[in-house]
Amino acid sequence: MSRCDCTVAGVGIDVVDLERFRTLLSRRSAAPRRLFTEAEQAYASSSSDPAKRLAARFAAKEATMKALGVGIGAVRFRDMEVLGDGGRPTLQLAGRAARLAEEMGITCWHISLSHSDLVAVASVLAASGPGA
pLDDT digits (tens, 9 = 90+) for 25-44: 999 999 999 999 999 999 99
Band the pLDDT of 132: cuts 50, 70, 90: low
12 Cβ contact list (under 8 Å, min separation 6): 62, 63, 64, 65, 66, 67, 68, 123, 124
**What pTM, to 2 d.p., does this model score?**
0.91
> Can you list the domains of the chain with their CATH numbers?
7-128 (3.90.470.20)
Mean pLDDT, residues 13-27 = 97
Tell me the per-residue pLDDT of 74-88, one tens digit each, with 9 for 90 and over: 999 999 999 986 678
Mean pLDDT for all residues in the chain: 92
Q: Is the pLDDT of residue 1 over 60?
A: no
8 Å CB contact between 69 and 12: no
Q: What percent of the chain has pLDDT over 90?
A: 82
The residues, any chain, with a CB within 8 Å of residue 117's CB and separated by 6 or more, are 18
Residue 99 has pLDDT above 70, yes or no: yes
Cα pseudo-dihedral 39, 41, 43, 46, rounded to 10:
-140
